[in-house]
Chain A
């Protein structure tokens, strides 16, 4: 299930389940979106990106969906593994990605064996 903590929403899933992490972005002029994974004590790690002229992009076990109408981004992780446990951030940028990144609040994903 999904719950909202003091600072960080948390999504708890079982190993093998599919996970969906959602993000509402703020700027309708943003044209580039990125998902990052951050493990405890480390910097964010690039997962997948998508340009605003696309609505779906697939990687290895991950899919990003973009709905510009409602300014919504989602990250789908197939067959979630314990190693996927981390905090996931969406980020948006303008000007073909040359502008600075604005990060979302983040979602903690907890995967139980």
Chain B
């Protein structure tokens, strides 16, 4: 149980294009999903908290106009990297927590990440 699917797993695109990444909770519902960024040999850095039916909460230093988040249903959140540039190249990972069926003290479950390379 508690499977999170992320798509695509890998994308290469030209500078200036926009890239959309999907995060789905497959066997549970999540009012809240999370988006992280990870550089090689470093820890995960939280970018934003995605809230179903409302605006995302962004961490300090993360540009909300650059990283658009939509959480339109209880099983899907999307992250769109707009006008991507080489410095946006990174490993993006989403997570979700079963916030409907289960009470507190539930771990976040992670997708397998999206490797984004901007040329």
Interface of B is mostly: loop
State whether B44 touches A89 (Cβ < 8 A). yes
Interface size on A (CB < 8 Å)? 27
Query: B99 → chain A, closest Cβ, in Å?
Result: 8
State whether A105 touches B104 (Cβ < 8 A). no
State whether B41 touches A42 (Cβ < 8 A). no
State whether B43 touches A97 (Cβ < 8 A). no
Q: Chain A residues near B112 (CB, 8 Å)?
A: 41-43
Q: Chain A residues near B43 (CB, 8 Å)?
A: 89, 103-106
State whether A44 touches B115 (Cβ < 8 A). no
State whether B113 touches A100 (Cβ < 8 A). no
State whether B49 touches A103 (Cβ < 8 A). no
Residue of chain B at shortest CB distance from A105 = B43
Cα A103 to Cα B46 in complex, Å, equals 9
Taking the complex as formed, is A68 at the interface, i.e. its CB lies under 8 A from any CB of chain B?
no
Q: Which of B3-34 contact A (CB under 8 A)?
A: 4, 6, 34
Query: A38 → chain B, closest Cβ, in Å?
Result: 9
Since A41-B115, A103-B43 are in contact, a sample of 10 more A-B pairs with Cβ atoms closer than 8 Å, ordered by chain A residue number, is: A7-B40, A43-B112, A43-B113, A44-B44, A49-B107, A100-B34, A101-B46, A103-B45, A104-B43, A106-B42
